[in-house]
Amino acid sequence: RWVGFYPEIVGELSRRLNFQATFKRVSDGRYGSYDNQTGRWDGMIGDVYSGDVHFAAAPLTLNAVREEFVDFSHGVLNFGLVVVAKPAKWVNTAVVRDAKFFLRVFDLGVWLASGGVFLLTALLLHYNG
Contacts of 64 (CB under 8 A, 6+ apart): none
Helices of type H across the chain: 5-17, 43-50, 64-69, 99-104, 108-128
Cα 48 vs. chain centroid, distance in angstroms? 21
What pLDDT does residue 43 have? 93
Q: How confident is the model at residue 119 (pLDDT cuts 50, 70, 90)?
A: confident
- The DSSP output letter for 42 is -
What type of residue sits at position 73? S
* Class of 5-68 in CATH: alpha beta
Helices of type H across 18-107: 43-50, 64-69, 99-104
The SS3 of residue 21 is coil
What type of residue sits at position 90? W
Residue 48 has pLDDT above 90, yes or no: yes
For the entire predicted model, the pTM comes to: 0.56
Nearest of 18, 26, 74 to residue 48 by alpha carbon: 26
Residue 103 has pLDDT above 70, yes or no: no
Quick one: 60 exposed, middle or buried, by C-beta within 10 A (0-12, 13-18, 19+)? middle
